[in-house]
Chain A
Amino acid sequence: MNRPGRDDAPDRLYTITQGRSRSSPDDPFDLVTLVVAESDPVAGMQSEHAAILKLTRFPTSVAEIAAELRLPVGITKVLLSDLSAAGRVSARHPRRPAITDPDILEQVLVGLRNL
């Protein structure tokens, strides 16, 4: 699909991630993992990395980061893995929640009823 301002040509994405389209299988980032910056952007940093650090001053999901950067989710995860390896971002609860746990589901229900 095409949207104004978006250029998802493989060449551009290749440059952003130095050729990687997938993060490692054990990366902690799910679509809804909340990511938090552990440092401020520094001069000379890759612009996508700097943008992520600005976005994640407050907890921000992988999906929101991808949407704001206008990058595919997989590419966004590669960038996040790099930042995580450098200690610049952290993933909150990198393990997936126990979505079969009745207590967790009750918390979700209470939240929805309170909307």
Chain B
Amino acid sequence: MDSATSDARTPLGASADQGFKIVVVGGFGVGKTTLVRSVSEIRPLNTEETMTQAGATVDDIGQVRGKSATTVAFDFGRISLDLRNVLYLFGAPGQERFWFLWDRLFSGTLGAVVLVDTRRIDDSWYAIDRLEQHGTPFIVACNDFGGPVRAGADVREALDLDPQVPLVDCDARSRESAKQVLITLVQHVKNRYAGPLARAGLPRQEFV
């Protein structure tokens, strides 16, 4: 297995003891891996999970053979927050088959970022719908592809977004911008759980 174990690994400090996860969901080519790479302290890694199409529990791999097994691959990066806490950032495909795996992989997720290309907004409807169903707090970040800027109200309407859900613009290639996206998400999650009185003011379109 030596070939699989890269010498370039950067291990965590010995005191690290708590992992958190945030999921970046978005369509193909929207910049998920770019965003992960921008803030990750390691070169993004890739892993996968396999299950049958029906989403049923398979207790014997022998049963998988001959059935249509679904494999979902995802990239992830890592951010050491302090000596103990480590945040993992997963880039996940938003397509339908991915959601079969959500509970197994991403229950307990701190929150999600829906990364949107405003030229292909309808790619994001399904992901937003599923996150709402799962009760996972999320924000929407529009990745800037250099095209004409679409007004926030326009995007919000096109996504049929709840007024409570923050909507931000970002540049996934920029570490600072990606960092601000994550801060916006965690602040939103904190507000949501802190009770109505502690909620921040009206959501607004911000350029981060």
Residues of A participating in the B interface, judged by any CB pair closer than 8 Å:
1, 3, 5, 8, 10-11, 13-14, 17, 19-22, 30-34, 47-48, 50-51, 54-55, 57-61, 63-64, 66-70, 72-74, 92-93, 96-97, 99-102, 105-115
Q: Chain B contacts of A17 at CB under 8 A?
A: 61
B49/A21 in contact, CB under 8 A: no
- Majority SS of interface residues in chain B? mixed
Is there contact, CB below 8 Å, between B65 and A109? no
Size of the B side of the interface (Cβ < 8 Å), in residues, is: 62
> B4 touches which one: A5, A59, A63, A110 (CB < 8 A)?
A5
Does B6 sit within 8 A of A, measured CB to CB?
A: yes
Do residues A109 and B186 form an inter-chain contact, with CB atoms below 8 A?
yes
A97–B18 contact, CB under 8 A?
yes
Q: Are A112 and B4 in contact (CB under 8 A)?
A: no
What's the minimum C-beta distance from B107 to chain A, rounded to whole angstroms?
Answer: 8
Cross-chain pair count, CB within 8 angstroms = 175
Which residues of chain B have C-beta atoms less than 8 A from A47's C-beta?
Answer: 1
Asked if A112 and B183 make an inter-chain contact with CB atoms under 8 angstroms apart, the answer reads: yes
**B45 lies within 8 A of A63 (CB):** yes
**B4, B14, B79: which contacts A115 (Cβ < 8 A)?**
B79
Interface 0/1 of B33-48, CB less than 8 Å to A = 0000001000001111
1/0 contact string of B49-72 vs chain A (CB within 8 Å) = 111000001111110110001010
Q: Do A115 and B60 contact each other (CB < 8 Å), given the known contacts A63-B47, A107-B82?
A: no
